[in-house]
Amino acid sequence: MGTGDQGSGTRDCCSENSAASGICSGNPNSSSQLSALSPQPPVPDPPFPYLNENDRYLFPPPETWEDWIIAVGGNLSPGMLLSAYEQGIFPWYGPEDPILWQSPDPRMLIFPETLHISRSMKKILDNNVFEIALNRDFAAVICGCAETKRPSQGGTWITADIITAYTEMHRLGWALSAEAYLDGELAGGCYGVRIGKAFFGESMFAKKPNASKAAFLSLACFLFANGVEFIDCQVPTDHLRSLGGKVMSRMNFLALLKETLLPFPIPYSPLSIV
Protein backbone atom coordinates (compact mmCIF):
# COMPACT_ATOMS: atom_id res chain seq x y z
CA MET A 1 0.00 0.00 0.00
CA GLY A 2 1.10 3.57 -0.57
CA THR A 3 -0.23 7.08 -0.18
CA GLY A 4 -1.76 9.17 -2.95
CA ASP A 5 -3.58 12.37 -3.92
CA GLN A 6 -7.33 12.99 -3.93
CA GLY A 7 -9.12 11.17 -6.74
CA SER A 8 -11.39 12.85 -9.25
CA GLY A 9 -14.40 10.55 -8.82
CA THR A 10 -17.60 11.37 -6.99
CA ARG A 11 -19.50 9.39 -4.40
CA ASP A 12 -23.15 9.92 -3.48
CA CYS A 13 -23.91 7.82 -0.43
CA CYS A 14 -27.52 8.91 0.01
CA SER A 15 -29.40 9.93 -3.12
CA GLU A 16 -32.57 8.75 -4.83
CA ASN A 17 -32.33 7.92 -8.52
CA SER A 18 -33.99 5.39 -10.78
CA ALA A 19 -32.11 2.10 -10.99
CA ALA A 20 -30.78 0.71 -14.24
CA SER A 21 -31.83 -2.79 -15.19
CA GLY A 22 -30.27 -6.15 -15.75
CA ILE A 23 -26.70 -6.17 -14.43
CA CYS A 24 -27.25 -7.75 -11.06
CA SER A 25 -30.76 -9.12 -11.40
CA GLY A 26 -31.40 -12.79 -10.78
CA ASN A 27 -28.87 -14.71 -8.71
CA PRO A 28 -26.69 -12.10 -6.95
CA ASN A 29 -23.99 -14.71 -6.30
CA SER A 30 -23.47 -15.50 -9.96
CA SER A 31 -19.84 -14.84 -10.88
CA SER A 32 -20.83 -13.85 -14.42
CA GLN A 33 -23.24 -11.21 -13.11
CA LEU A 34 -20.67 -9.87 -10.67
CA SER A 35 -17.95 -9.65 -13.30
CA ALA A 36 -20.33 -7.73 -15.57
CA LEU A 37 -20.11 -4.81 -13.14
CA SER A 38 -16.34 -4.59 -13.57
CA PRO A 39 -14.84 -6.50 -16.53
CA GLN A 40 -11.34 -5.97 -15.15
CA PRO A 41 -11.66 -5.45 -11.38
CA PRO A 42 -8.63 -4.11 -9.50
CA VAL A 43 -6.28 -6.88 -8.49
CA PRO A 44 -5.34 -6.94 -4.77
CA ASP A 45 -1.65 -6.69 -3.89
CA PRO A 46 -0.40 -10.30 -4.15
CA PRO A 47 1.94 -10.06 -1.13
CA PHE A 48 -0.61 -8.32 1.06
CA PRO A 49 -2.10 -10.75 3.60
CA TYR A 50 -5.79 -11.57 3.90
CA LEU A 51 -7.00 -10.21 7.23
CA ASN A 52 -9.91 -11.87 8.98
CA GLU A 53 -12.32 -9.91 11.16
CA ASN A 54 -10.05 -10.25 14.19
CA ASP A 55 -6.94 -8.87 12.44
CA ARG A 56 -6.15 -5.18 12.13
CA TYR A 57 -3.98 -2.98 9.92
CA LEU A 58 -2.58 0.38 10.98
CA PHE A 59 -2.93 3.06 8.30
CA PRO A 60 -0.63 6.13 8.19
CA PRO A 61 -1.33 8.48 11.14
CA PRO A 62 -3.77 11.36 10.50
CA GLU A 63 -1.10 14.02 11.01
CA THR A 64 0.52 12.80 7.77
CA TRP A 65 -2.68 13.02 5.70
CA GLU A 66 -2.52 15.75 3.06
CA ASP A 67 -5.53 14.91 0.90
CA TRP A 68 -8.53 12.60 0.82
CA ILE A 69 -6.60 9.55 -0.40
CA ILE A 70 -4.76 8.02 2.54
CA ALA A 71 -3.33 4.86 0.98
CA VAL A 72 -3.35 2.80 -2.22
CA GLY A 73 -3.47 -0.98 -2.61
CA GLY A 74 -3.97 -3.80 -0.14
CA ASN A 75 -7.20 -5.80 -0.37
CA LEU A 76 -10.83 -5.79 0.74
CA SER A 77 -10.62 -8.55 3.33
CA PRO A 78 -12.82 -8.13 6.44
CA GLY A 79 -9.94 -7.10 8.69
CA MET A 80 -8.83 -4.43 6.22
CA LEU A 81 -12.32 -2.97 5.93
CA LEU A 82 -12.86 -2.94 9.69
CA SER A 83 -9.40 -1.40 10.21
CA ALA A 84 -10.25 1.34 7.73
CA TYR A 85 -13.64 2.24 9.21
CA GLU A 86 -12.23 2.25 12.74
CA GLN A 87 -9.65 4.79 11.55
CA GLY A 88 -12.09 7.00 9.63
CA ILE A 89 -11.20 5.60 6.20
CA PHE A 90 -13.14 3.66 3.57
CA PRO A 91 -12.49 2.24 0.07
CA TRP A 92 -13.60 4.42 -2.83
CA TYR A 93 -12.30 4.00 -6.34
CA GLY A 94 -13.37 3.46 -9.93
CA PRO A 95 -13.40 0.25 -11.98
CA GLU A 96 -10.05 1.01 -13.58
CA ASP A 97 -8.34 2.23 -10.40
CA PRO A 98 -6.31 0.37 -7.79
CA ILE A 99 -7.94 0.14 -4.36
CA LEU A 100 -7.98 3.68 -2.94
CA TRP A 101 -8.50 4.28 0.78
CA GLN A 102 -10.06 7.69 1.39
CA SER A 103 -11.08 9.98 4.23
CA PRO A 104 -13.01 13.08 3.08
CA ASP A 105 -12.50 16.48 4.66
CA PRO A 106 -14.96 17.81 5.70
CA ARG A 107 -17.20 14.95 6.74
CA MET A 108 -20.98 14.80 7.13
CA LEU A 109 -22.69 13.10 10.07
CA ILE A 110 -26.26 12.63 11.27
CA PHE A 111 -26.91 12.48 15.02
CA PRO A 112 -30.06 11.36 16.86
CA GLU A 113 -30.91 14.95 17.71
CA THR A 114 -30.35 16.23 14.15
CA LEU A 115 -32.17 13.50 12.18
CA HIS A 116 -34.88 15.29 10.20
CA ILE A 117 -38.05 13.58 9.02
CA SER A 118 -40.12 15.96 6.91
CA ARG A 119 -43.86 16.20 7.38
CA SER A 120 -44.47 14.44 4.06
CA MET A 121 -42.06 11.60 4.91
CA LYS A 122 -43.59 11.21 8.36
CA LYS A 123 -46.96 10.79 6.70
CA ILE A 124 -45.52 8.14 4.34
CA LEU A 125 -43.96 6.26 7.25
CA ASP A 126 -47.02 6.57 9.50
CA ASN A 127 -49.30 5.32 6.72
CA ASN A 128 -47.02 2.34 6.01
CA VAL A 129 -46.85 3.17 2.31
CA PHE A 130 -43.77 0.95 2.17
CA GLU A 131 -43.13 -2.31 3.96
CA ILE A 132 -39.79 -1.80 5.71
CA ALA A 133 -37.45 -4.69 6.48
CA LEU A 134 -33.93 -5.00 7.87
CA ASN A 135 -31.38 -7.43 6.43
CA ARG A 136 -34.02 -9.24 4.39
CA ASP A 137 -32.14 -9.04 1.06
CA PHE A 138 -28.70 -7.47 1.39
CA ALA A 139 -27.59 -8.82 -1.99
CA ALA A 140 -30.50 -7.17 -3.81
CA VAL A 141 -29.84 -3.86 -2.05
CA ILE A 142 -26.14 -3.65 -2.88
CA CYS A 143 -26.85 -4.72 -6.46
CA GLY A 144 -29.58 -2.09 -6.66
CA CYS A 145 -27.10 0.53 -5.50
CA ALA A 146 -24.57 -0.67 -8.08
CA GLU A 147 -27.10 -0.48 -10.91
CA THR A 148 -28.39 3.00 -10.05
CA LYS A 149 -27.53 5.70 -12.56
CA ARG A 150 -26.34 8.85 -10.83
CA PRO A 151 -26.13 12.06 -12.91
CA SER A 152 -22.82 13.14 -11.34
CA GLN A 153 -21.06 9.85 -12.06
CA GLY A 154 -19.82 8.29 -15.27
CA GLY A 155 -20.26 4.81 -13.81
CA THR A 156 -20.61 2.90 -10.57
CA TRP A 157 -17.95 2.69 -7.88
CA ILE A 158 -19.74 -0.38 -6.48
CA THR A 159 -17.82 -2.90 -8.56
CA ALA A 160 -17.73 -6.69 -8.38
CA ASP A 161 -14.99 -6.73 -5.74
CA ILE A 162 -16.92 -4.26 -3.57
CA ILE A 163 -20.06 -6.41 -3.81
CA THR A 164 -18.12 -9.54 -2.89
CA ALA A 165 -16.36 -7.87 0.04
CA TYR A 166 -19.45 -6.27 1.59
CA THR A 167 -21.52 -9.40 1.07
CA GLU A 168 -18.93 -11.20 3.18
CA MET A 169 -19.11 -8.38 5.74
CA HIS A 170 -22.86 -8.89 5.84
CA ARG A 171 -22.41 -12.64 6.33
CA LEU A 172 -20.13 -11.87 9.28
CA GLY A 173 -22.70 -9.49 10.78
CA TRP A 174 -20.93 -6.16 10.20
CA ALA A 175 -22.80 -4.86 7.13
CA LEU A 176 -26.52 -4.11 7.43
CA SER A 177 -29.24 -3.32 4.92
CA ALA A 178 -32.71 -1.81 5.03
CA GLU A 179 -35.31 -2.54 2.39
CA ALA A 180 -38.47 -0.73 1.32
CA TYR A 181 -41.08 -2.85 -0.49
CA LEU A 182 -44.04 -1.64 -2.49
CA ASP A 183 -46.70 -4.19 -3.48
CA GLY A 184 -44.27 -6.97 -2.60
CA GLU A 185 -41.47 -5.67 -4.84
CA LEU A 186 -38.20 -4.13 -3.65
CA ALA A 187 -38.60 -0.40 -4.30
CA GLY A 188 -35.46 0.91 -2.62
CA GLY A 189 -32.95 0.37 0.13
CA CYS A 190 -29.66 1.29 1.72
CA TYR A 191 -26.69 -0.42 3.36
CA GLY A 192 -23.72 0.34 5.55
CA VAL A 193 -21.41 -0.95 8.27
CA ARG A 194 -22.00 -0.86 12.02
CA ILE A 195 -19.12 -0.99 14.48
CA GLY A 196 -20.17 -0.53 18.09
CA LYS A 197 -21.93 2.82 18.47
CA ALA A 198 -21.04 4.08 14.98
CA PHE A 199 -22.75 3.38 11.67
CA PHE A 200 -21.05 4.10 8.36
CA GLY A 201 -23.52 4.66 5.54
CA GLU A 202 -22.39 3.40 2.16
CA SER A 203 -25.10 3.79 -0.50
CA MET A 204 -28.82 3.84 -1.20
CA PHE A 205 -31.08 3.46 -4.21
CA ALA A 206 -34.71 3.91 -5.19
CA LYS A 207 -36.85 2.47 -7.96
CA LYS A 208 -39.89 4.36 -6.63
CA PRO A 209 -40.07 7.92 -5.24
CA ASN A 210 -39.25 8.19 -1.52
CA ALA A 211 -38.38 4.48 -1.22
CA SER A 212 -34.72 4.95 -0.30
CA LYS A 213 -35.58 7.75 2.14
CA ALA A 214 -38.17 5.53 3.80
CA ALA A 215 -35.60 2.74 4.16
CA PHE A 216 -32.85 5.07 5.39
CA LEU A 217 -34.97 6.96 7.89
CA SER A 218 -36.39 3.72 9.26
CA LEU A 219 -32.90 2.28 9.60
CA ALA A 220 -31.64 5.48 11.25
CA CYS A 221 -34.44 5.40 13.82
CA PHE A 222 -33.71 1.75 14.53
CA LEU A 223 -29.98 2.36 14.93
CA PHE A 224 -30.41 5.39 17.19
CA ALA A 225 -32.89 3.46 19.33
CA ASN A 226 -30.30 0.71 19.70
CA GLY A 227 -27.28 2.66 20.88
CA VAL A 228 -25.76 4.14 17.73
CA GLU A 229 -24.50 7.66 18.41
CA PHE A 230 -23.99 8.89 14.84
CA ILE A 231 -24.28 7.91 11.20
CA ASP A 232 -21.25 8.76 9.10
CA CYS A 233 -22.56 9.91 5.71
CA GLN A 234 -19.03 10.54 4.42
CA VAL A 235 -19.28 13.27 1.74
CA PRO A 236 -21.51 16.34 2.36
CA THR A 237 -24.46 16.79 -0.04
CA ASP A 238 -27.60 18.91 -0.05
CA HIS A 239 -29.72 15.75 0.12
CA LEU A 240 -27.95 14.65 3.30
CA ARG A 241 -28.40 18.11 4.80
CA SER A 242 -32.14 17.77 4.22
CA LEU A 243 -32.06 14.60 6.34
CA GLY A 244 -30.22 16.31 9.18
CA GLY A 245 -26.60 15.97 8.12
CA LYS A 246 -24.07 18.22 9.84
CA VAL A 247 -20.65 19.12 8.48
CA MET A 248 -17.63 18.34 10.64
CA SER A 249 -13.93 18.72 10.00
CA ARG A 250 -12.01 15.51 9.49
CA MET A 251 -9.91 16.00 12.60
CA ASN A 252 -13.01 16.55 14.75
CA PHE A 253 -14.63 13.51 13.19
CA LEU A 254 -11.59 11.36 13.94
CA ALA A 255 -11.60 12.53 17.55
CA LEU A 256 -15.32 11.74 17.87
CA LEU A 257 -14.82 8.35 16.23
CA LYS A 258 -12.00 7.47 18.60
CA GLU A 259 -14.12 8.46 21.59
CA THR A 260 -17.13 6.53 20.28
CA LEU A 261 -15.15 3.34 19.68
CA LEU A 262 -13.13 3.67 22.90
CA PRO A 263 -15.11 0.93 24.71
CA PHE A 264 -14.13 -1.41 21.86
CA PRO A 265 -10.30 -1.73 21.94
CA ILE A 266 -8.71 -2.17 18.50
CA PRO A 267 -6.03 -4.92 18.55
CA TYR A 268 -3.77 -3.77 15.72
CA SER A 269 -1.36 -6.31 14.24
CA PRO A 270 2.22 -5.18 13.57
CA LEU A 271 1.84 -5.04 9.77
CA SER A 272 3.80 -2.26 8.12
CA ILE A 273 2.93 -0.08 5.16
CA VAL A 274 3.91 -1.89 1.93
Q: Is the C-alpha dihedral spanning 73, 76, 77, 81 positive or negative?
A: positive
Nearest-CA neighbor of 111 among 260, 264, 263?
A: 260
Q: Using pLDDT thresholds of 50, 70 and 90, give the confidence band for residue 17.
A: very low
What pLDDT does 47 receive? 79
Q: Using pLDDT thresholds of 50, 70 and 90, give the confidence band for residue 149.
A: confident
Residue 234 contacts residue 204 (beta carbons within 8 Å): no
pLDDT in tens, 151-206: 555 556 899 999 999 999 999 999 999 999 999 999 999 999 999 999 999 999 99
What pLDDT does 271 receive? 38
Residue 218 contacts residue 125 (beta carbons within 8 Å): yes
- Rounded distance between C-alpha atoms, residue 98 and residue 242, angstroms: 33
pLDDT in tens, 206-245: 999 999 999 999 999 999 999 999 999 999 999 999 999 9
- Rounded distance between C-alpha atoms, residue 35 and residue 89, angstroms: 26
- Rounded distance between C-alpha atoms, residue 220 and residue 161, angstroms: 27
Domain boundaries, the chain: 108-248
Query: What secondary structure letter does DSSP report for 263?
Result: T
Which strands form 100-102's sheet, in the order they lie side by side?
A: 69-72, 100-102, 90-91
CATH of domain 108-248: 3.40.630.70
What pLDDT does 152 receive? 59
Cα 245 versus chain centre, distance: 16
Weakest mean pLDDT among 34-38, 79-83, 99-103, 249-253 = 34-38
Averaged pLDDT score across all residues of the chain: 83
Residue 80 contacts residue 53 (beta carbons within 8 Å): no
269 has a pLDDT exceeding 80: no
